[in-house]
Amino acid sequence: MIPPPLAALTSLHDTGADWPSLDVVWRVLTLQDYNTRLVVMSTMILGLASGLVGCFLLLRKRSLMGDALSHATLPGIGLAFIVMASMGGTGKHLVGLLVGATVTGVIGVIMVLVVRNTSRIKDDAAMGIVLSVFFGLGMVVLSMVLSMPSGHAAGLESFIYGKTASMIMQDFLLLSGVAAIALLCSLLLLKEFTLLCFDEGFGRSQGWPIHGLDIILLGLVALVTVVGLQAVGLILIIAFLITPAAAARFWTNDLRNMLILSALIGGVSGWCGASISALLPRLPAGAVIVLVAAAFFVFSLFFGKTRGVVRTRLAMYRLKRKVGRQHLLRAVYEIQEAACAETGKPPANIAIPFRDLLLHRSWSPAHVRQDLRRAKNEDHIDQFDGQSLRLSESGFGEAARITRNHRLWEIFLITHADIAASHVDRDADSVEHVLSPDMVRELEQRLDLDSIPESPHYISPQKDRPHDMVR
């Protein structure tokens, strides 16, 4: 006799609310049952295909295209059922229903392209129009199906909401074929799809078949969308297409790495979502799959290596501290330089009044004291008693280097980049990495000759300019 928990596992249609035992969890994780194995493998393969195709769709800025295409398949499903039923069949043949979905889906995509290319309407508006029109048409067709004698038993609502538990070997083979096609096209047309996503205008100017590549890409989207209807439904398939790609975008700027990550996130989402649904049969698999993908997205949103919120905030905080340190050291050096110039001496590390530093940049005392504390912790300030301050030996050398680089950058922007002097105030800490050595030597000669154009941020040692003129 099969124990009750194991008996509940043998059918994914079970609606019991009992929490699974460890034995049941182990059997699901190890895919020991045929039905569970078939469903989990099918959804994982769908996730891999969706992740690959979704990357190009996201980078092409046509995320809504998958939604428009999925809704455009609805009237095709109803019309295919009517045609098959009128020919004496039951109307429930899966291949016939998918063919009908493909036909109207492709028609919807073509209509979007026609509207976009023959009018001034943008992509999002064209896709919104096609989405709403085809979905409304699909609801009308489905109402006609329900009025037929066999319409109520057709089960066509599974294409709207998804019915993962009813997937069979035929679905697995179909999904495997589509995933293989998506992988093959992604590998063979990677260069072409990259050009299509990032620089369509350049590709067209070089004679690349942009419209042909667009049609191939949308054809892949149509394939994944149609075969994914049985798993997650036409309402949720767009989330399965876009969410893994959007999550992968937070981790890398390299397209190849993004494709791999997106496929992995989609596959793991399908595997985890189907497994959770098998363990808790009351939860619909399609919705759980999308929720797992959404969890990956939220995690990536905050902790992504490249574009995550936490990393971005930390980078902005570090940049703010770096810029504040540079401004502080440069201001101190310029004040020391001006004081030494009055006596005809070269710039030296002398103590300066705290009040002069406040007037130099019109800073608030609290802001300056905070920057001074940080500079002291970094061993750039030797002494500060509230009335005067002096740089340390390393701080003076760093201040001289920052000031030199900043003035070189000012000269370059004014003399070579044709930027007005009043608009020149940029971080110049890595000027040697931006300009060539020959250019740096030329700028140093101009600086030594004191031929720098007038800039509101530069105090020449030979010119008596009040400190409050410096921003």
Three-class secondary structure assignment of 312-352: HHHHHHHHHHHHHHHHHHHHHHHHHHHHHHHCCCCCCCCCE
pLDDT, greater one: 91 or 322 = 322
* Residue that terminates a domain, selected from 268, 291, 306: 306
Q: Token digits for 148?
A: 């037929």
pLDDT band at 61 (very low <50, low <70, confident <90, very high): confident
Which range is least confidently modeled, 36-40, 232-236, 251-255, 425-429? Answer: 425-429
Answer whether residue 11 is part of any domain: no
Answer whether residue 81 is part of any domain: yes
pLDDT for 38 beyond 70: yes
Give the pLDDT confidence score for residue 11 in this predicted structure.
45
Name the residue type at position 122.
Answer: K
Overall average pLDDT of the 135-158 stretch? 73
Task: For residue 272, report the phi and psi dihedrals to the nearest 5 degrees.
Answer: -65, -45
Overall average pLDDT of the 386-410 stretch? 84
Name the residue type at position 319.
Answer: L
Answer whether residue 9 is part of any domain: no
pLDDT for 247 beyond 90: yes
Give the pLDDT confidence score for residue 297 in this predicted structure.
94
Residue 14, exposed/middle/buried by CB under 10 A (0-12, 13-18, 19+)? middle
Answer whether residue 39 is part of any domain: yes
Q: Token digits for 193?
A: 């799809």
* Residue that terminates a domain, selected from 245, 272, 306: 306
* Residue that terminates a domain, selected from 306, 339, 361: 306
> Could you give the percent of the chain with pLDDT greater than 70?
80
pLDDT, greater one: 132 or 420 = 132
Pair 431, 341 in one domain = yes
Nearest in space to 328 (alpha carbons), one of 398, 421, 411, 432: 398
* Domain containing residue 237: CATH number: 1.10.3470.10
Pair 383, 295 in one domain = no
Pair 343, 251 in one domain = no
pLDDT for 300 beyond 50: yes
Give the pLDDT confidence score for residue 228 in this predicted structure.
78
Structural domains in the chain (count):
2
CA distance 401 to 387: 26
Answer whether residue 16 is part of any domain: no
Pair 328, 206 in one domain = no
Name the residue type at position 125.
Answer: A
Name the residue type at position 110.
Answer: I
Pair 362, 239 in one domain = no
Give the pLDDT confidence score for residue 464 in this predicted structure.
37
pLDDT band at 431 (very low <50, low <70, confident <90, very high): low
**What letter does residue 309 receive in the DSSP assignment?**
H
Name the residue type at position 93.
Answer: H
From residue 402, give the alpha-carbon distance in Å to each of 228, 281, 323, 383, 469. Answer: 58, 65, 11, 20, 20
Three-class secondary structure assignment of 403-417: HHHHHHHHHHHHHCC
CA distance 336 to 146: 88
Give the pLDDT confidence score for residue 57 in this predicted structure.
87
Domain that holds residue 420: 312-469
Q: What is the pTM of this model?
A: 0.73
pLDDT band at 13 (very low <50, low <70, confident <90, very high): very low
* Domain containing residue 413: CATH number: 1.10.10.10
In 3-state terms, what secondary structure has residue 147? coil
Answer whether residue 194 is part of any domain: yes
Pair 201, 325 in one domain = no
Which range is least confidently modeled, 59-63, 79-83, 149-153, 262-266? Answer: 149-153
pLDDT, greater one: 208 or 155 = 208
Name the pairing type of β-strands 381-384 and 352-353: unpaired
Pair 465, 430 in one domain = yes
Overall average pLDDT of the 174-202 stretch? 86
Give the pLDDT confidence score for residue 310 in this predicted structure.
92
Give the pLDDT confidence score for residue 162 in this predicted structure.
64
Overall average pLDDT of the 342-370 stretch? 83
Q: Token digits for 394?
A: 């390393």
pLDDT for 428 beyond 70: no
Give the pLDDT confidence score for residue 306 in this predicted structure.
87
Sheet holding 352-353, edge to edge: 352-353, 388-391, 381-384
Give the pLDDT confidence score for residue 356 in this predicted structure.
84
pLDDT band at 126 (very low <50, low <70, confident <90, very high): confident
Q: What is the number of other CB atoms lying within 10 angstroms of the CB of residue 274?
A: 32
Answer whether residue 8 is part of any domain: no
Answer whether residue 21 is part of any domain: no
CA distance 428 to 434: 9
CA angle (22 as vertex; 17, 28 as ends), nearest 5: 80
**What letter does residue 119 receive in the DSSP assignment?**
S
CA distance 158 to 175: 17
Which range is least confidently modeled, 67-76, 154-163, 455-464? Answer: 455-464
Quick: pLDDT tens for 62-90.
777 777 777 888 888 888 888 887 877 66
Mean pLDDT, rounded, of the chain? 78
In 3-state terms, what secondary structure has residue 121? coil
Pair 241, 137 in one domain = yes
Pair 270, 402 in one domain = no
In 3-state terms, what secondary structure has residue 381? strand
Pair 207, 229 in one domain = yes
The full DSSP string for 181-206 is HHHHHHHHTHHHHHHHHH-HHHHHHT
Give the pLDDT confidence score for residue 221 in this predicted structure.
84
- At how many degrees (to 10) do helices 354-361 and 309-342 cross? 120
Nearest in space to 141 (alpha carbons), one of 150, 151, 131, 132: 151
Pair 209, 131 in one domain = yes
pLDDT for 238 beyond 90: no
Quick: pLDDT tens for 217-230.
888 888 888 877 76
Q: Token digits for 130?
A: 């096609």
pLDDT, greater one: 6 or 446 = 446
Q: Report the Cα 3 to chain-centroid distance in Å.
A: 47
Give the pLDDT confidence score for residue 299 in this predicted structure.
95
Pair 300, 320 in one domain = no
Q: List CB contacts of 20: < 8 A, sequence separation 6 or more.
A: 5, 8, 9, 28, 279, 280
CA distance 290 to 176: 20
CA distance 323 to 391: 17
pLDDT for 185 beyond 80: yes
